[in-house]
Copies of this chain bind each other. A is one copy, B any other.
Amino acid sequence: MPKTIQEVIDLIVARIPGAPMEDSVDIIKCGDPKKEVTGIVTTFTASMDVLRHAVAHNANFIITHEPTFYEHRDNTAWLSDDPVYTAKRAFIDEHNLTIWRFHDYWHMHEPDGIQVGVEKALGWEEFEHTDNRYVVHIPPTTVSGLLGELKQKLSRPTLRVVGDLNMPCERVGMLLGAIGGENQIKALHMADLDVALCGETVEWQTCEYVRDAIATGQHKALIILGHATSEEAGMHYLVEWLQPQLEDISITFIPAGDPILVV
């Protein structure tokens, strides 16, 4: 049974095909992996609130999907005199927290750990995934019907959409996270999607493409879930995946929640 943080990381990485990779962002961001694990927190993003909850849970190891310091590789040179960074860093050091990012590898898991978690939250695991793992065939509905289901199952009061609410749909692309405007556009066309679900979009790019698609008679819609809402369930599922291998260690998912309020 693993005792140190590094042993837990090694145990996880050993189950990921193709990992470890030389150039992955999935590295230790701060702390000391030689320490004994007191408890593990999994989360979408290691926000200050999540870190405080981790301390309250007596967990010294945080597994986060997204960066801790607002930059893809968690470079912090540009933040050296920033008071938000300084305060967060001081809290991490004071409480001896170790933070590891689990992004690339969790998506590389077969099947993609984030998508599995989101499909479990939606009850979509059993739907057909034919030609492409990221394309799910849902029972025929409309964009409006799909929005209602997503709002209810993902507990969101509102969602954003580019499209005709009455358009029938059944071929849905799970473009979770922020895969970039060109990738979203290519998926809409090449995977022949009715609806793309995304986390973040690029408005001047993907949204304008979908608007023009509709204006030229194409059968397309884009539903924007928000980044946290689109992936958070995948970090919840990580507890279920990891706990059987670490029976003596407390593993807790702490939701970061969507940072944005719609008013």
Residue interface mask A209-234, B partner, CB < 8 A = 1: 11111011110000010111000000
Chain B residues near A189 (CB-CB < 8 A) = 82-84
The answer to whether B207 touches A260, judged by C-beta atoms less than 8 angstroms apart, is yes
- Nearest to A202 among chain B residues (CB) is B200
The answer to whether A48 touches B212, judged by C-beta atoms less than 8 angstroms apart, is yes
Q: How far is the CB of A123 from chain B (nearest CB, A)?
A: 21
Chain B residues near A30 (CB-CB < 8 A) = none
The docked-state distance in angstroms from the alpha carbon of A47 to that of B203 is 13
Chain B residues near A173 (CB-CB < 8 A) = none
The docked-state distance in angstroms from the alpha carbon of A45 to that of B145 is 30
Contact of A208 among B66, B158, B165, B216 (CB under 8 A): B66
Q: A259-B162, A263-B147 are in contact. Are A48 and B227 (CB under 8 A)?
A: no
Interface size of A by CB at 8 A reads 57
Q: How far is the CB of A157 from chain B (nearest CB, A)?
A: 10
Residue interface mask A158-201, B partner, CB < 8 A = 1: 11111101000000000000100110011001000000000110
Q: A70-B209, A84-B209 are in contact. Are A160 and B204 (CB under 8 A)?
A: no
The answer to whether A160 touches B261, judged by C-beta atoms less than 8 angstroms apart, is yes
Chain B residues near A217 (CB-CB < 8 A) = 87
Q: How far is the CB of A216 from chain B (nearest CB, A)?
A: 4
- Nearest to A199 among chain B residues (CB) is B203
A149 within 8 A of B: no
Q: How far is the CB of A154 from chain B (nearest CB, A)?
A: 14
The docked-state distance in angstroms from the alpha carbon of A162 to that of B227 is 14
Can you list 12 A-B pairs, Cβ within 8 angstroms, ordered by A?
A: A48-B212, A49-B215, A66-B208, A70-B209, A78-B186, A84-B189, A84-B218, A147-B263, A159-B262, A162-B261, A178-B202, A178-B203
